[in-house]
Amino acid sequence: MMDIKSKNLLDRPRRLRQNMTLRKMVSENHFHLDEFIYPMFVIDGNKIKNEIPSMPGIYQWSIDMIVSEIDAIINMGISKILLFGVPENKDEQGSATWSDDGIIQKTVRKLKHEFPELYIISDVCFCGYTDHGHCGVLQDGDLHNDMTLSNVSKQVLSHVSAGVDMVAPSLMIDGMVGEIRSTLDGNGFSQIPIMSYSVKYASSFYGPFREAVDSSPKIGDRKTYQMDPANRREALKEVELDLMEGADIIMVKPALSYLDIIRDIKQICNVPIACYNVSGEYSMVKASANKGWLDHDEVMVEMLLSMKRAGADIIISYFAKDIAKILRDSHGIR
């Protein structure tokens, strides 16, 4: 054992921590706005800008109101959004998801017209559009896998026909990526990438989001389709299947409690890995900062750095605007 009084320490790692210049030079991870995707909620109606109570700073926007917000985020350097719709009417199958007049379709046409350079990714799911709140077609109280698959195809085709640049299926049903890939390829959309919510856990961190889109299941829960938080090996199986089916980007969700999963996947796959810094992770920081219990920016940066360290190439985060401000104030480097 080393004598703590000995001057012959093996090394002095503190040498490289002496000042900011040195620390910055040896920093292993930096943020760049290009790797952030900003999730946004659009709602049917006019003149609506509803703050989501559990997500301060995040709003439901009506189409007329979202335009100036998009203008603002583009000016901040944010180039990609992940779009969620809050429809006027729900039904058993969530048919508003494939309506030409659906909230996503109308929003995308408007935004593509106003901001051709904005990159729009659509969340592909049914939970906000079904009257029972589950992510597809229900049969005997459970999600019916294969009947849901054919509705997914209709939804995806409708989204890309309206102008969506990338689709992000989040339903966690078996075969969804393969189904979507063949639908896209068979209809002249072979250039549209799929970012799959490959490893999506049945998580209570989605609580605030479900308030934002009113998508909580009215009966039961999502445990028959989303993954058990206890499982690690199973994540690899989901990823292998999605890669075989043609996923271009693999996503892990939530992020913060699943950094080990991001790391595991990084080691086995050669496609970009996204993580979703979900609503509950955002709300925790906002709430405690609001009480003065935590430093907002420091905690946010530390959280997001942990995702980068774990191996995430892309971060989907409600903090994207906060990060944009920090990067601007620190001349692009953090």
Contact residues toward ligand PBG (CB under 6 A) are 123, 125, 127, 135, 170, 206, 209-210, 215, 278-279
DSSP 8-state class, residue 175: T
Catalytic residue among 253, 286, 308, 321: 253
Residue whose CB is nearest to ligand PBG in the complex, by number: 209
Q: How far is the CB of 193 from ligand PBG (least distance, A)?
A: 18
Could you tell me if 308 and 278 are in contact, meaning their C-beta atoms sit under 8 angstroms apart? no
As measured in angstroms, the least distance from the Cβ of 135 to ligand PBG is: 5
Least distance to ligand PBG, CB of residue 72, Å: 21
Catalytic site includes residue 24? no
Q: How far is the CB of 215 from ligand PBG (least distance, A)?
A: 6
Which C-beta is closer to ligand PBG: that of 68 or that of 224? 224
The nearer residue to ligand PBG, 80 or 334, going by C-beta atoms, is 80
Q: Are 31 and 277 contacting, i.e. CB atoms less than 8 angstroms apart? A: no
Q: Is 25 helix (H, G, I), strand (E, B) or coil?
A: helix
> Sign (positive/negative) of CA torsion 185, 187, 188, 191?
negative
Catalytic residue among 200, 286, 308, 321: 200
Query: Does the active-site annotation cover 7?
Result: no
Give the residue ranges of DSSP H helices in the chain: 20-25, 63-76, 103-114, 145-162, 176-186, 207-213, 233-245, 259-268, 279-290, 296-310, 320-329
How is 256-302 classified by DSSP, letter by letter? Answer: GGGHHHHHHHHHH--S-EEEEE-HHHHHHHHHHHHTTSS-HHHHHHH
The residues that are catalytic are: 200, 253
